Protein backbone atom coordinates (compact mmCIF):
# COMPACT_ATOMS: atom_id res chain seq x y z
CA UNK A 1 0.00 0.00 0.00
CA UNK A 2 2.84 2.39 0.86
CA UNK A 3 4.57 1.69 -2.44
CA UNK A 4 1.30 2.19 -4.33
CA UNK A 5 0.75 5.53 -2.64
CA UNK A 6 4.31 6.61 -3.43
CA UNK A 7 3.83 5.65 -7.09
CA UNK A 8 0.87 8.00 -7.37
CA UNK A 9 1.60 10.71 -4.79
CA UNK A 10 4.86 12.03 -6.27
CA UNK A 11 3.61 12.19 -9.90
CA UNK A 12 0.38 13.81 -8.67
CA UNK A 13 2.34 16.37 -6.64
CA UNK A 14 4.56 17.15 -9.62
CA UNK A 15 1.55 17.58 -11.92
CA UNK A 16 -0.14 19.87 -9.40
CA UNK A 17 3.08 21.89 -9.20
CA UNK A 18 3.15 22.28 -13.00
CA UNK A 19 -0.46 23.45 -12.89
CA UNK A 20 0.37 26.00 -10.18
CA UNK A 21 3.26 27.27 -12.29
CA UNK A 22 0.90 27.90 -15.19
CA UNK A 23 -1.50 29.72 -12.90
CA UNK A 24 1.41 31.94 -11.87
CA UNK A 25 2.80 32.58 -15.36
CA UNK A 26 -0.67 33.43 -16.65
CA UNK A 27 -0.44 36.64 -14.64
CA UNK A 28 2.73 37.48 -16.61
CA UNK A 29 1.35 36.91 -20.11
CA UNK A 30 0.47 40.42 -21.37
CA UNK A 31 -1.97 40.22 -24.27
CA UNK A 32 -0.15 40.32 -27.60
CA UNK A 33 -0.60 38.52 -30.90
CA UNK A 34 -3.78 36.44 -31.16
CA UNK A 35 -4.68 37.16 -27.54
CA UNK A 36 -4.76 40.87 -28.24
CA UNK A 37 -6.56 40.46 -31.55
CA UNK A 38 -9.34 38.17 -30.37
CA UNK A 39 -10.05 40.23 -27.25
CA UNK A 40 -9.97 43.59 -29.05
CA UNK A 41 -12.23 42.65 -31.95
CA UNK A 42 -14.72 40.87 -29.72
CA UNK A 43 -15.05 43.88 -27.41
CA UNK A 44 -15.10 46.28 -30.36
CA UNK A 45 -17.60 44.40 -32.54
CA UNK A 46 -19.92 42.75 -30.06
CA UNK A 47 -21.93 45.65 -28.66
CA UNK A 48 -25.32 44.12 -29.50
CA UNK A 49 -26.82 40.78 -30.45
CA UNK A 50 -26.74 41.67 -34.15
CA UNK A 51 -23.08 42.71 -33.99
CA UNK A 52 -22.25 39.52 -32.05
CA UNK A 53 -23.84 37.41 -34.77
CA UNK A 54 -22.01 39.36 -37.46
CA UNK A 55 -18.71 38.96 -35.58
CA UNK A 56 -19.07 35.19 -35.52
CA UNK A 57 -20.18 35.09 -39.15
CA UNK A 58 -16.94 36.82 -40.10
CA UNK A 59 -14.93 34.43 -37.95
CA UNK A 60 -16.70 31.43 -39.50
CA UNK A 61 -16.12 32.76 -43.00
CA UNK A 62 -12.50 33.84 -42.64
CA UNK A 63 -10.94 31.88 -39.76
CA UNK A 64 -12.16 28.47 -38.59
CA UNK A 65 -14.83 26.56 -36.69
CA UNK A 66 -12.72 25.47 -33.75
CA UNK A 67 -14.61 25.80 -30.50
CA UNK A 68 -11.32 26.77 -28.87
CA UNK A 69 -11.41 29.97 -30.94
CA UNK A 70 -15.16 30.49 -31.07
CA UNK A 71 -15.36 30.37 -27.28
CA UNK A 72 -12.08 32.11 -26.40
CA UNK A 73 -13.75 35.52 -25.81
CA UNK A 74 -15.21 33.98 -22.65
CA UNK A 75 -11.82 33.60 -20.88
CA UNK A 76 -10.10 36.44 -22.76
CA UNK A 77 -12.68 39.21 -22.57
CA UNK A 78 -15.32 38.22 -20.02
CA UNK A 79 -13.65 36.23 -17.27
CA UNK A 80 -11.30 38.06 -14.88
CA UNK A 81 -7.59 37.30 -15.25
CA UNK A 82 -7.45 35.26 -12.06
CA UNK A 83 -10.20 32.94 -13.33
CA UNK A 84 -8.49 32.56 -16.70
CA UNK A 85 -5.22 31.80 -14.91
CA UNK A 86 -6.85 29.16 -12.72
CA UNK A 87 -8.39 27.52 -15.79
CA UNK A 88 -5.05 27.49 -17.60
CA UNK A 89 -3.33 25.88 -14.63
CA UNK A 90 -6.12 23.33 -14.14
CA UNK A 91 -6.20 22.33 -17.81
CA UNK A 92 -2.42 22.02 -17.98
CA UNK A 93 -2.46 19.74 -14.93
CA UNK A 94 -5.40 17.77 -16.39
CA UNK A 95 -3.52 17.25 -19.65
CA UNK A 96 -0.48 15.83 -17.86
CA UNK A 97 -2.68 13.67 -15.62
CA UNK A 98 -4.68 12.22 -18.52
CA UNK A 99 -1.48 11.42 -20.44
CA UNK A 100 -0.15 9.56 -17.41
CA UNK A 101 -3.45 7.71 -16.89
CA UNK A 102 -3.70 6.64 -20.51
CA UNK A 103 -0.06 5.51 -20.53
CA UNK A 104 -0.67 3.45 -17.40
CA UNK A 105 -3.46 1.46 -19.04
CA UNK A 106 -4.37 -1.68 -17.13
CA UNK A 107 -0.99 -1.83 -15.38
CA UNK A 108 -0.41 -0.98 -11.75
CA UNK A 109 0.74 2.61 -11.14
CA UNK A 110 4.51 2.85 -11.57
CA UNK A 111 6.50 5.70 -10.06
CA UNK A 112 9.26 5.49 -12.65
CA UNK A 113 6.97 5.16 -15.66
CA UNK A 114 4.73 8.01 -14.50
CA UNK A 115 7.61 10.41 -13.94
CA UNK A 116 9.25 9.40 -17.22
CA UNK A 117 6.01 10.18 -19.07
CA UNK A 118 5.69 13.56 -17.33
CA UNK A 119 9.30 14.38 -18.25
CA UNK A 120 8.74 13.31 -21.86
CA UNK A 121 5.64 15.50 -22.14
CA UNK A 122 7.42 18.42 -20.48
CA UNK A 123 10.63 18.27 -22.51
CA UNK A 124 9.82 16.78 -25.92
CA UNK A 125 6.46 18.26 -26.93
CA UNK A 126 6.61 21.49 -28.96
CA UNK A 127 5.84 23.90 -26.12
CA UNK A 128 8.18 26.37 -27.82
CA UNK A 129 5.66 26.69 -30.67
CA UNK A 130 2.85 27.69 -28.28
CA UNK A 131 4.54 31.07 -27.66
CA UNK A 132 3.20 31.40 -24.10
CA UNK A 133 -0.15 32.72 -25.32
CA UNK A 134 -3.62 32.15 -23.94
CA UNK A 135 -5.09 31.36 -27.35
CA UNK A 136 -2.57 28.59 -28.00
CA UNK A 137 -3.24 27.26 -24.51
CA UNK A 138 -6.91 26.95 -25.43
CA UNK A 139 -6.21 25.42 -28.84
CA UNK A 140 -3.62 22.88 -27.79
CA UNK A 141 -3.29 22.32 -24.04
CA UNK A 142 -6.99 22.65 -23.20
CA UNK A 143 -7.96 20.75 -26.35
CA UNK A 144 -5.60 17.89 -25.45
CA UNK A 145 -6.88 17.69 -21.88
CA UNK A 146 -10.52 17.72 -22.99
CA UNK A 147 -9.97 15.22 -25.80
CA UNK A 148 -8.20 12.67 -23.59
CA UNK A 149 -10.85 13.06 -20.88
CA UNK A 150 -13.64 12.59 -23.44
CA UNK A 151 -11.99 9.42 -24.76
CA UNK A 152 -11.82 8.13 -21.20
CA UNK A 153 -15.56 8.73 -20.78
CA UNK A 154 -16.39 7.24 -24.16
CA UNK A 155 -14.94 3.80 -23.47
CA UNK A 156 -15.65 3.69 -19.75
CA UNK A 157 -17.80 0.76 -18.64
CA UNK A 158 -19.15 2.58 -15.60
CA UNK A 159 -22.89 3.26 -15.86
CA UNK A 160 -24.06 6.88 -15.84
CA UNK A 161 -27.44 8.11 -14.68
CA UNK A 162 -29.16 10.52 -17.08
CA UNK A 163 -28.28 13.68 -15.15
CA UNK A 164 -24.60 12.75 -15.47
CA UNK A 165 -24.90 11.42 -19.01
CA UNK A 166 -26.34 14.63 -20.49
CA UNK A 167 -23.42 16.89 -19.43
CA UNK A 168 -21.00 14.09 -20.38
CA UNK A 169 -22.41 14.11 -23.93
CA UNK A 170 -22.07 17.89 -24.12
CA UNK A 171 -18.49 17.65 -22.88
CA UNK A 172 -17.66 15.00 -25.51
CA UNK A 173 -18.92 17.27 -28.29
CA UNK A 174 -17.02 20.24 -26.84
CA UNK A 175 -13.81 18.24 -26.44
CA UNK A 176 -13.81 16.95 -30.01
CA UNK A 177 -14.79 20.36 -31.38
CA UNK A 178 -11.92 22.23 -29.79
CA UNK A 179 -9.48 21.57 -32.65
CA UNK A 180 -9.73 19.61 -35.88
CA UNK A 181 -6.33 17.96 -35.47
CA UNK A 182 -7.34 16.45 -32.13
CA UNK A 183 -11.06 15.84 -32.60
CA UNK A 184 -10.97 14.27 -36.06
CA UNK A 185 -7.97 12.04 -35.47
CA UNK A 186 -9.21 10.87 -32.06
CA UNK A 187 -12.69 10.22 -33.46
CA UNK A 188 -11.22 8.08 -36.24
CA UNK A 189 -9.25 5.95 -33.79
CA UNK A 190 -12.19 5.71 -31.42
CA UNK A 191 -14.65 4.54 -34.09
CA UNK A 192 -12.32 1.79 -35.31
CA UNK A 193 -11.59 0.69 -31.74
CA UNK A 194 -15.31 0.62 -30.89
CA UNK A 195 -16.10 -1.38 -34.03
CA UNK A 196 -13.55 -4.03 -33.08
CA UNK A 197 -14.84 -4.12 -29.50
CA UNK A 198 -18.53 -3.59 -30.26
CA UNK A 199 -19.68 -6.30 -27.85
CA UNK A 200 -18.08 -4.44 -24.94
CA UNK A 201 -19.72 -1.16 -25.87
CA UNK A 202 -22.94 -0.16 -24.11
CA UNK A 203 -25.49 2.16 -25.72
CA UNK A 204 -24.16 5.09 -23.68
CA UNK A 205 -20.68 4.46 -25.12
CA UNK A 206 -22.04 4.62 -28.66
CA UNK A 207 -23.93 7.79 -27.79
CA UNK A 208 -20.76 9.46 -26.54
CA UNK A 209 -18.88 8.31 -29.62
CA UNK A 210 -21.63 9.85 -31.77
CA UNK A 211 -21.26 13.20 -29.97
CA UNK A 212 -17.47 13.04 -30.31
CA UNK A 213 -17.83 12.46 -34.04
CA UNK A 214 -20.30 15.34 -34.25
CA UNK A 215 -17.88 17.69 -32.53
CA UNK A 216 -15.08 16.56 -34.81
CA UNK A 217 -17.13 17.12 -37.97
CA UNK A 218 -18.06 20.60 -36.73
CA UNK A 219 -14.40 21.65 -36.81
CA UNK A 220 -14.33 21.00 -40.56
CA UNK A 221 -17.43 22.97 -41.58
CA UNK A 222 -16.24 26.60 -41.69
CA UNK A 223 -15.09 27.98 -45.07
CA UNK A 224 -12.33 29.80 -43.19
CA UNK A 225 -10.61 26.47 -42.56
CA UNK A 226 -9.73 26.26 -46.23
CA UNK A 227 -9.15 29.90 -47.16
CA UNK A 228 -5.74 30.19 -45.53
CA UNK A 229 -4.24 26.91 -46.70
CA UNK A 230 -2.15 28.62 -49.39
CA UNK A 231 -1.34 31.78 -47.44
CA UNK A 232 2.04 30.56 -46.16
CA UNK A 233 4.89 32.10 -48.19
CA UNK A 234 7.78 30.17 -46.60
CA UNK A 235 6.58 26.58 -46.04
CA UNK A 236 8.85 24.13 -44.27
CA UNK A 237 10.12 21.04 -46.05
CA UNK A 238 8.46 17.70 -45.38
CA UNK A 239 11.66 16.51 -43.72
CA UNK A 240 11.66 19.49 -41.36
CA UNK A 241 7.98 18.97 -40.54
CA UNK A 242 8.41 15.28 -39.71
CA UNK A 243 11.67 15.76 -37.82
CA UNK A 244 10.42 18.75 -35.86
CA UNK A 245 6.79 17.82 -35.34
CA UNK A 246 6.37 14.12 -35.94
CA UNK A 247 9.35 12.18 -34.61
CA UNK A 248 7.26 10.21 -32.13
CA UNK A 249 4.87 9.33 -34.96
CA UNK A 250 7.79 8.09 -37.07
CA UNK A 251 9.10 6.00 -34.16
CA UNK A 252 5.61 4.57 -33.65
CA UNK A 253 5.44 3.67 -37.35
CA UNK A 254 8.77 1.82 -37.06
CA UNK A 255 7.58 0.00 -33.92
CA UNK A 256 4.30 -0.98 -35.60
CA UNK A 257 6.15 -2.27 -38.65
CA UNK A 258 8.45 -4.31 -36.39
CA UNK A 259 5.46 -5.89 -34.63
CA UNK A 260 3.80 -6.60 -37.96
CA UNK A 261 6.88 -8.50 -39.08
CA UNK A 262 8.24 -10.08 -35.91
CA UNK A 263 5.70 -9.78 -33.08
CA UNK A 264 2.21 -10.17 -34.52
CA UNK A 265 0.76 -11.69 -31.36
CA UNK A 266 1.57 -8.53 -29.42
CA UNK A 267 0.26 -6.35 -32.23
CA UNK A 268 -3.08 -8.19 -32.27
CA UNK A 269 -3.40 -7.78 -28.50
CA UNK A 270 -2.66 -4.06 -28.76
CA UNK A 271 -5.11 -3.61 -31.61
CA UNK A 272 -7.94 -4.70 -29.33
CA UNK A 273 -6.82 -2.25 -26.64
CA UNK A 274 -6.99 1.58 -26.50
CA UNK A 275 -3.50 1.54 -28.05
CA UNK A 276 -5.31 1.37 -31.38
CA UNK A 277 -7.08 4.70 -30.72
CA UNK A 278 -3.82 6.52 -30.19
CA UNK A 279 -1.91 4.77 -32.96
CA UNK A 280 -4.56 5.59 -35.58
CA UNK A 281 -4.92 9.14 -34.23
CA UNK A 282 -1.15 9.63 -34.44
CA UNK A 283 -0.89 8.28 -37.99
CA UNK A 284 -3.88 10.27 -39.25
CA UNK A 285 -2.42 13.42 -37.69
CA UNK A 286 0.27 13.30 -40.37
CA UNK A 287 -2.37 14.63 -42.76
CA UNK A 288 -2.80 17.81 -40.70
CA UNK A 289 0.97 18.23 -40.35
CA UNK A 290 1.49 18.01 -44.09
CA UNK A 291 -1.33 20.33 -45.17
CA UNK A 292 -0.26 22.93 -42.56
CA UNK A 293 3.15 23.07 -44.29
CA UNK A 294 5.11 24.18 -41.24
CA UNK A 295 6.72 22.51 -38.25
CA UNK A 296 5.62 23.11 -34.68
CA UNK A 297 2.02 23.27 -33.49
CA UNK A 298 0.44 21.13 -36.27
CA UNK A 299 2.23 18.10 -34.87
CA UNK A 300 1.27 18.68 -31.23
CA UNK A 301 -1.62 16.23 -31.06
CA UNK A 302 0.09 13.61 -33.19
CA UNK A 303 3.06 13.67 -30.86
CA UNK A 304 0.86 13.32 -27.78
CA UNK A 305 -1.04 10.38 -29.28
CA UNK A 306 2.15 8.71 -30.51
CA UNK A 307 3.86 9.15 -27.14
CA UNK A 308 0.99 7.40 -25.37
CA UNK A 309 0.94 4.59 -27.93
CA UNK A 310 4.69 4.08 -27.56
CA UNK A 311 4.53 3.96 -23.78
CA UNK A 312 1.62 1.50 -23.84
CA UNK A 313 3.61 -0.68 -26.26
CA UNK A 314 6.72 -0.53 -24.07
CA UNK A 315 4.75 -1.35 -20.93
CA UNK A 316 3.25 -4.39 -22.64
CA UNK A 317 6.64 -6.05 -22.12
CA UNK A 318 6.09 -5.74 -18.36
CA UNK A 319 9.57 -4.31 -17.79
CA UNK A 320 10.49 -3.67 -14.16
CA UNK A 321 13.59 -2.24 -12.53
CA UNK A 322 14.43 -4.74 -9.83
CA UNK A 323 16.51 -2.38 -7.73
CA UNK A 324 14.17 -0.34 -5.54
CA UNK A 325 17.03 1.98 -4.67
CA UNK A 326 17.80 2.68 -8.33
CA UNK A 327 14.12 3.32 -8.99
CA UNK A 328 14.00 5.90 -6.20
CA UNK A 329 17.17 7.65 -7.36
CA UNK A 330 16.03 7.89 -10.99
CA UNK A 331 12.49 8.92 -9.98
CA UNK A 332 13.71 11.63 -7.63
CA UNK A 333 16.16 12.81 -10.28
CA UNK A 334 13.37 13.12 -12.87
CA UNK A 335 11.12 14.94 -10.41
CA UNK A 336 13.88 17.39 -9.46
CA UNK A 337 14.78 18.13 -13.09
CA UNK A 338 11.15 18.70 -14.10
CA UNK A 339 10.46 20.77 -10.99
CA UNK A 340 13.59 22.89 -11.51
CA UNK A 341 12.67 23.46 -15.15
CA UNK A 342 9.20 24.75 -14.33
CA UNK A 343 10.53 26.86 -11.47
CA UNK A 344 12.93 28.52 -13.91
CA UNK A 345 10.08 28.92 -16.38
CA UNK A 346 8.02 30.78 -13.78
CA UNK A 347 10.91 33.04 -12.80
CA UNK A 348 11.83 33.96 -16.36
CA UNK A 349 8.26 34.44 -17.60
CA UNK A 350 7.65 36.79 -14.68
CA UNK A 351 10.69 38.79 -15.78
CA UNK A 352 9.74 38.76 -19.47
CA UNK A 353 6.10 39.57 -18.75
CA UNK A 354 7.15 42.54 -16.61
CA UNK A 355 9.43 43.74 -19.41
CA UNK A 356 6.60 43.43 -21.93
CA UNK A 357 4.21 45.45 -19.79
CA UNK A 358 6.86 48.15 -19.39
CA UNK A 359 7.58 48.22 -23.13
CA UNK A 360 3.88 48.55 -23.99
CA UNK A 361 3.52 51.31 -21.40
CA UNK A 362 6.40 53.26 -22.96
CA UNK A 363 4.97 52.61 -26.42
CA UNK A 364 1.58 54.01 -25.44
CA UNK A 365 3.26 57.25 -24.33
CA UNK A 366 5.45 57.55 -27.43
CA UNK A 367 4.27 59.96 -30.10
CA UNK A 368 5.79 58.00 -33.01
CA UNK A 369 5.96 54.48 -31.54
CA UNK A 370 9.74 54.48 -31.05
CA UNK A 371 10.95 53.69 -27.54
CA UNK A 372 14.33 53.25 -25.87
CA UNK A 373 14.26 50.09 -23.79
CA UNK A 374 16.67 47.25 -23.07
CA UNK A 375 14.88 43.92 -22.84
CA UNK A 376 15.77 40.24 -22.91
CA UNK A 377 15.54 39.01 -26.49
CA UNK A 378 14.82 35.36 -27.14
CA UNK A 379 18.26 34.18 -28.31
CA UNK A 380 19.72 35.45 -25.02
CA UNK A 381 17.45 33.26 -22.89
CA UNK A 382 18.94 30.24 -21.07
CA UNK A 383 18.79 27.00 -23.05
CA UNK A 384 17.08 25.11 -20.24
CA UNK A 385 13.89 27.12 -20.77
CA UNK A 386 13.53 25.34 -24.13
CA UNK A 387 12.13 28.58 -25.54
CA UNK A 388 8.78 28.12 -23.83
CA UNK A 389 8.71 31.74 -22.59
CA UNK A 390 7.66 34.81 -24.53
CA UNK A 391 8.37 38.47 -23.88
CA UNK A 392 8.80 41.71 -25.81
CA UNK A 393 8.32 40.97 -29.52
CA UNK A 394 11.57 41.03 -31.47
CA UNK A 395 11.88 43.05 -34.68
CA UNK A 396 11.23 39.94 -36.75
CA UNK A 397 8.01 39.09 -34.86
CA UNK A 398 6.06 40.98 -37.49
CA UNK A 399 2.66 39.52 -36.62
CA UNK A 400 3.07 40.65 -33.01
CA UNK A 401 4.33 44.11 -33.92
CA UNK A 402 1.47 44.44 -36.43
CA UNK A 403 -1.13 43.63 -33.76
CA UNK A 404 0.44 46.04 -31.27
CA UNK A 405 0.66 48.78 -33.88
CA UNK A 406 -2.86 48.39 -35.29
CA UNK A 407 -4.71 47.82 -32.00
CA UNK A 408 -2.72 49.65 -29.31
CA UNK A 409 -0.91 52.29 -31.32
CA UNK A 410 -3.37 53.50 -33.92
CA UNK A 411 -0.98 52.49 -36.69
CA UNK A 412 2.27 53.90 -35.32
CA UNK A 413 5.10 51.34 -35.74
CA UNK A 414 6.37 49.45 -32.70
CA UNK A 415 10.14 50.01 -32.69
CA UNK A 416 12.32 49.25 -29.67
CA UNK A 417 15.79 50.85 -29.67
CA UNK A 418 18.67 50.03 -27.32
CA UNK A 419 18.87 52.53 -24.46
CA UNK A 420 22.51 53.21 -25.37
CA UNK A 421 21.29 55.07 -28.49
CA UNK A 422 19.74 57.81 -26.36
CA UNK A 423 23.02 59.63 -25.93
CA UNK A 424 24.51 58.96 -29.36
CA UNK A 425 24.37 61.68 -32.02
CA UNK A 426 23.13 59.59 -34.93
CA UNK A 427 23.19 62.40 -37.52
CA UNK A 428 26.99 62.28 -37.52
CA UNK A 429 27.20 58.59 -38.42
CA UNK A 430 29.33 57.95 -41.47
CA UNK A 431 28.97 54.16 -41.42
CA UNK A 432 26.67 51.59 -39.78
CA UNK A 433 26.94 51.62 -35.98
CA UNK A 434 26.82 48.39 -34.01
CA UNK A 435 25.04 48.67 -30.66
CA UNK A 436 25.14 45.33 -28.90
CA UNK A 437 23.63 42.84 -31.34
CA UNK A 438 21.80 45.54 -33.32
CA UNK A 439 23.01 47.84 -36.11
CA UNK A 440 21.89 51.41 -36.81
CA UNK A 441 22.45 53.04 -40.19
CA UNK A 442 21.59 56.35 -41.81
CA UNK A 443 20.83 54.61 -45.10
CA UNK A 444 19.20 51.32 -45.99
CA UNK A 445 21.72 48.51 -46.29
CA UNK A 446 21.93 46.98 -49.78
CA UNK A 447 20.29 43.65 -50.55
CA UNK A 448 17.10 43.99 -48.46
CA UNK A 449 14.45 41.42 -49.37
CA UNK A 450 11.00 40.64 -48.03
CA UNK A 451 10.97 37.34 -46.12
CA UNK A 452 7.42 37.54 -44.89
CA UNK A 453 5.76 34.27 -43.96
CA UNK A 454 2.40 35.84 -44.90
CA UNK A 455 1.66 38.70 -47.25
CA UNK A 456 -0.08 40.75 -44.56
CA UNK A 457 3.04 40.96 -42.39
CA UNK A 458 6.02 42.12 -44.48
CA UNK A 459 9.43 41.38 -42.99
CA UNK A 460 12.37 43.13 -44.69
CA UNK A 461 15.57 41.17 -44.12
CA UNK A 462 19.16 41.78 -45.17
CA UNK A 463 22.26 39.64 -44.94
CA UNK A 464 25.04 41.80 -43.52
CA UNK A 465 28.51 40.39 -42.92
CA UNK A 466 27.21 36.82 -43.08
CA UNK A 467 24.27 37.28 -40.70
CA UNK A 468 20.57 37.91 -41.35
CA UNK A 469 18.98 41.01 -39.83
CA UNK A 470 15.38 42.21 -39.70
CA UNK A 471 14.97 45.84 -40.78
CA UNK A 472 12.89 48.56 -39.13
CA UNK A 473 12.93 52.29 -39.79
CA UNK A 474 12.47 55.12 -37.29
CA UNK A 475 12.60 58.91 -37.19
CA UNK A 476 14.81 61.03 -34.99
CA UNK A 477 15.12 64.80 -35.16
CA UNK A 478 13.39 64.80 -38.53
CA UNK A 479 15.78 62.29 -40.11
CA UNK A 480 15.08 58.69 -41.06
CA UNK A 481 17.28 55.91 -39.70
CA UNK A 482 17.32 52.14 -40.04
CA UNK A 483 17.54 49.59 -37.24
CA UNK A 484 18.78 46.09 -38.01
CA UNK A 485 18.14 43.38 -35.41
CA UNK A 486 19.38 39.76 -35.69
CA UNK A 487 16.79 37.55 -37.39
CA UNK A 488 15.46 34.88 -35.04
CA UNK A 489 12.61 32.90 -36.56
CA UNK A 490 10.26 31.53 -33.93
CA UNK A 491 9.32 27.87 -33.76
CA UNK A 492 5.93 27.16 -35.26
CA UNK A 493 5.82 30.47 -37.08
CA UNK A 494 3.16 30.59 -39.74
- Between CA 408 and CA 417 the distance in angstroms is 19
In a domain? residue 353: no
pLDDT surpasses 60 at 63: yes
Segment 169-194 shows an average pLDDT of 98
Q: Which residue has the higher pLDDT, 466 or 322?
A: 466
pTM of the full structure? 0.95
Q: Looking at 303, 320, 337, which one is the last position of a domain?
A: 320
Q: How many domains does the chain have?
A: 2
Q: Looking at 301, 320, 339, which one is the last position of a domain?
A: 320
Q: Do 310 and 444 have their domain in common? A: no
- Between CA 136 and CA 42 the distance in angstroms is 17
What is the tens place of the pLDDT at every residue in 353-407? 999 999 999 999 999 999 999 999 888 999 999 999 999 999 999 999 999 999 9
Expressed as residue numbers, the domain containing 137 is: 2-320
Q: Do 267 and 395 have their domain in common? A: no
Q: Quote the pLDDT of residue 1.
A: 44
Q: Do 167 and 299 have their domain in common? A: yes
- For the chain, how many residues are written? 494
In a domain? residue 333: no
Interior/surface letters 408-417, b for 16+ CB within 10 angstroms, e for the rest: bbeebbbbbb
pLDDT surpasses 60 at 247: yes
Q: Do 303 and 395 have their domain in common? A: no
In a domain? residue 209: yes
Q: Do 406 and 466 have their domain in common? A: yes
Strands 438-441, 433-435: pairing is: antiparallel
What is the tens place of the pLDDT at every residue in 452-484? 878 888 999 999 999 999 999 999 989 999 999
Q: Do 378 and 229 have their domain in common? A: no
Q: Do 476 and 380 have their domain in common? A: yes
Angle, helix 300-315 to helix 111-124, in steps of 10 degrees: 160
Amino acid sequence: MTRLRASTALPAALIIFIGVVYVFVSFYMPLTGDDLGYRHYFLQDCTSLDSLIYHYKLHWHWSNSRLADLLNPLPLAIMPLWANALCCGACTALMFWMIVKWCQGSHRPSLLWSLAVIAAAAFTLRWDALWMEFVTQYNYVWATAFCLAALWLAISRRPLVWWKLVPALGFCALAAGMHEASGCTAALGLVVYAALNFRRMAWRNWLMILFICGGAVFTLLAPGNYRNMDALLEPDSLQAILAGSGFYVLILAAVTLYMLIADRKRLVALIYSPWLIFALAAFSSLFFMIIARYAGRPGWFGQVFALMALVRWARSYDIHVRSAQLTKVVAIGLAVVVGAHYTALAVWQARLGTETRRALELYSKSADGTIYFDYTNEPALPWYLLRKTHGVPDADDTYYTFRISSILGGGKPFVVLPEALKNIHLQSLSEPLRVGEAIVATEQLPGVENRAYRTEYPRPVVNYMGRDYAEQSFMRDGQKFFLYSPLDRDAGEK
